[in-house]
């Protein structure tokens, strides 16, 4: 964040600065991601209280050269780019009470957005947004329902947990598979490892810093090496450990997580040389810093190359650069005196209409091909008259109340995967989740997340016929879904015996909420309770109250001998086909019997 903000400020200063050639400067103090240090640093920024000599930054003040511009004599216009939820939480009461601008914090926690505080100006999408994008992809694309979460046991972790609960449980009514926690600033993830595994999750959401998350990912993936068949769960759970999807939010630092995952040698190459980074998904709040089709990325790369040390471009630097450019754009459009209150007012003010209350457009800042905002003032008043000294002829106050307060500038989340194919670390953006057309945050929108209509299928492992039928059904559904807002999807599971078939059916109907079953392998079904190699449809309760359409076999009469209400045949039987052939042959050649 620091490097990105500084690059933006240096770029602006090189072009003449703002407000009569004033230069933008950034003073950064280390807090080591500890809230107590953040409090000491912020007390200096807000109240000019010199940090104690034995504090983390005490020496900086004690040893300040008299030949330098002594930092103790500086006046700070605002706070920018604070990193972390627990750190911001520590200073939040003082910031809101003083009214100093808190701009572009590197955290997506919900309480920075709701309730509304005008001096808290968020740029990035929230953790609710990022976790909503995860849930949307898992439920609607990957068709996964067994979702677990491991989270850091502090305000940051809880914000991620709350985001998952809002999307998965509150909106979609899908329960969490399992959960586990670990202490902040530690690598103690063992308890979480043991707590999460027994439910055999298909996907695990991770909320924390990169080092403990990397350790946990490797622990889970290593289960696959000790379970050679990978079909049955180990003593820890984590069935099919090599297929589990891991998802984490942008705060983690994609490059740092990847470097940690790749520094440990693999026990074997059984699952490929990139096994530790396979199926690891990181949500992002900005585009890929390498994707130069975006004007903002080209501007960022130019600034970093010109004004910063040369090193790989990163998502976090790009976010810092966007925050820095946002500050410049607010200052550029400001009316009145150069004051903090005018800066805050201008963030919410629609200069095209003189409106800034919640009923109207609000403040929007478009630069380098991106839109930051609209920021909406969550009160019924004319903010221009309220804050700015200049009078206006317009009186746009409306008797409204704030029902929506999505106090953030960016309304898009990108899904990224790690790409190690070239031997270098890169990230592929494969999906985005955007809601710029809505005034709301994801947490305020009931219709942003939906579940697909699921059709369930269980087929025999290795059956070519069943696999071809599956492909045909999926193709038909995909064609149907192209212009539909309510997709129909096929969820296919595979079985090797009757017990697996029954368990698959239970999972499809109970967990995946399948409305119908389709194209089941006929070789596994019968009306014969004495046949242990098949499932008797008439006596097994899993099949009593759900339609079974188009059993995947045409050469058996076993399932046509008697009527079974849930069973809906689509294909003609082998006798009907043979009869048609004989009829054609007789008519073609005038044969008679």
Cα-only R_g, the chain: 30
Inter-residue long-range contacts of 341-344, CB under 8 Å, 24+ positions, other chains counted: 341/99, 341/387, 342/387, 342/388, 343/77, 343/78, 343/101, 344/99, 344/101, 344/118, 344/119, 344/121, 344/387
Chain centre distance of CA 271: 26
**Selection from 519, 523, 503 nearest residue 511 by Cα:** 503
Which token pair is 465? 């016929």
* Separation of alpha carbons 393 and 33, rounded Å: 48
**What one-character DSSP code corresponds to residue 15?**
T
Chain centre distance of CA 372: 19
Domain ranges in the chain with CATH number 3.40.50.2300: 127-284+413-444, 453-577
Residue spans of beta strands (DSSP E) within 17-158:
79-80, 102-103, 120-121, 147-152
Where helices occur in 141-177 by DSSP H, the ranges are 155-164
Q: Per CATH, the architecture of 127-284+413-444 is what?
A: 3-Layer(aba) Sandwich (3.40)
Chain centre distance of CA 199: 22
Homologous superfamily (CATH) of 453-577 is Response regulator (3.40.50.2300)
Give the torsion sign (CA, 541, 544, 546, 551).
positive
Inter-residue long-range contacts of 260-264, CB under 8 Å, 24+ positions, other chains counted: 260/210, 260/211, 260/214, 261/214, 261/217, 261/218, 261/418, 262/420, 262/425, 264/218
pLDDT by residue, tens only, the chain of 593 residues: 999 999 999 999 999 999 888 999 999 999 999 999 999 999 999 998 989 888 888 888 877 554 445 677 788 999 999 999 999 999 999 999 999 999 999 999 988 988 888 999 999 999 999 999 999 999 999 999 999 999 999 989 999 999 999 999 999 999 999 999 999 999 999 999 999 999 999 999 999 999 999 999 999 999 998 875 555 556 899 999 999 999 999 999 898 999 999 998 998 899 999 999 999 999 999 999 999 999 999 999 999 999 987 678 999 999 999 999 999 999 998 878 899 999 999 998 876 655 544 445 678 899 999 999 888 877 534 333 333 333 333 333 333 455 555 789 999 999 999 998 777 788 999 999 888 877 677 766 655 788 999 999 999 999 999 999 999 999 999 999 998 888 999 999 999 999 999 999 999 999 999 999 999 998 889 898 888 889 999 899 999 899 999 887 655 677 887 888 899 988 777 778 888 888 888 887 776 65
Contact 1, 323 (CB under 8 A): yes
| Whole-prediction pTM | 0.86
* Separation of alpha carbons 412 and 469, rounded Å: 38
Residue 300 half-sphere exposure toward CB, CA atoms < 13 A: 35
Identify the H or E element spanning 14.
helix 2-14
**Selection from 168, 197, 167 nearest residue 180 by Cα:** 197
3-class DSSP string for 76-110: CCCEECCECHHHHHHHHHHHHHHCCCEECCECCCH
Residue 434 half-sphere exposure toward CB, CA atoms < 13 A: 10
Which token pair is 235? 């003593």
């Amino acid at each position: 964040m620091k490097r990105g903000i500084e690059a933006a400020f240096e770029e602006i200063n090189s072009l003449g600065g703002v407000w009569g050639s004033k230069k933008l400067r950034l003073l950064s103090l280390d807090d080591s991601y500890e809230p107590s240090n953040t409090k000491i640093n912020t007390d200096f920024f807000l109240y000019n209280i010199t940090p104690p000599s034995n504090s983390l930054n005490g020496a900086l003040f004690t040893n300040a050269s008299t030949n330098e511009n002594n930092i103790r004599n500086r006046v700070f216009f605002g706070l920018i780019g604070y990193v972390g939820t627990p750190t911001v939480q520590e200073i939040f009461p003082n910031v809101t009470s003083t009214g100093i601008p808190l701009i572009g914090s590197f955290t997506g926690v919900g309480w920075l957005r709701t309730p509304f505080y005008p001096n808290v100006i968020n740029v990035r999408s929230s953790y609710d947004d990022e976790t909503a994008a995860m849930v949307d992809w898992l439920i609607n694309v990957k068709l996964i329902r067994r979702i677990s979460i491991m989270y850091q046991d502090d305000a940051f972790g809880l914000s991620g947990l709350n985001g998952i609960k809002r999307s998965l449980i509150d909106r979609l009514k899908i329960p969490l598979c399992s959960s586990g926690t670990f202490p902040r600033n530690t690598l103690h993830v063992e308890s979480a490892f043991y707590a999460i595994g027994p439910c055999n999750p298909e996907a695990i959401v991770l909320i924390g810093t990169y080092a403990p998350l990397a350790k946990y990912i490797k622990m889970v993936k290593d289960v696959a090496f000790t379970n050679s068949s990978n079909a049955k769960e180990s003593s820890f759970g984590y069935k099919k450990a090599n297929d589990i999807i891991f998802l984490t939010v942008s705060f983690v630092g994609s490059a740092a997580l990847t470097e940690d995952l790749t520094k440990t040698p693999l026990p074997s190459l059984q699952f490929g040389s990139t096994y530790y980074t396979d199926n690891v998904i990181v949500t992002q709040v900005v585009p890929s810093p390498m994707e130069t089709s975006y004007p903002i990325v080209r501007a960022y790369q130019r600034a970093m190359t010109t004004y910063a040390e040369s090193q790989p471009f990163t998502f976090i630097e790009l976010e810092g650069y966007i925050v820095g450019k946002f500050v410049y754009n607010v200052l550029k459009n400001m009316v009145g005196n150069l004051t903090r209150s005018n800066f805050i007012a201008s963030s919410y003010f629609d200069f095209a209409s003189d409106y800034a209350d919640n009923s109207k457009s609000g403040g929007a800042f478009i630069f380098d091909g991106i839109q930051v905002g609209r920021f909406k003032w969550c009160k019924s008043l004319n903010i221009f008259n309220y804050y700015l000294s200049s009078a206006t002829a317009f009186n746009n106050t409306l008797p409204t109340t704030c029902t929506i307060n999505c106090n953030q500038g960016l309304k898009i989340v990108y899904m990224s995967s790690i790409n190690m194919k070239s031997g270098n670390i890169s990230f592929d953006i494969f999906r985005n989740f955007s809601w710029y057309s809505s005034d709301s945050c994801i947490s305020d929108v009931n219709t942003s997340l939906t579940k697909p209509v699921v059709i369930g299928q269980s087929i025999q492992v290795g059956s070519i016929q069943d696999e071809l039928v599956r492909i045909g059904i999926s193709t038909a559904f995909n064609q149907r879904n192209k212009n539909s807002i309510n997709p129909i999807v096929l969820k296919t599971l595979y079985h090797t015996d009757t017990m697996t078939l029954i368990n698959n059916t239970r999972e499809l109907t109970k967990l995946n909420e399948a409305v119908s079953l389709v194209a089941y392998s006929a070789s596994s079904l019968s009306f014969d309770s004495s046949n242990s190699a098949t499932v008797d449809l008439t006596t097994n309760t899993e099949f009593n109250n759900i339609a079974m359409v188009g059993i995947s076999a045409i050469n058996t009469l076993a399932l046509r001998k008697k009527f079974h209400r849930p069973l809906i045949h689509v294909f003609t039987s082998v006798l009907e086909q043979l009869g048609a052939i004989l009829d054609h042959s007789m008519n073609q050649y005038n044969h008679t019997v």
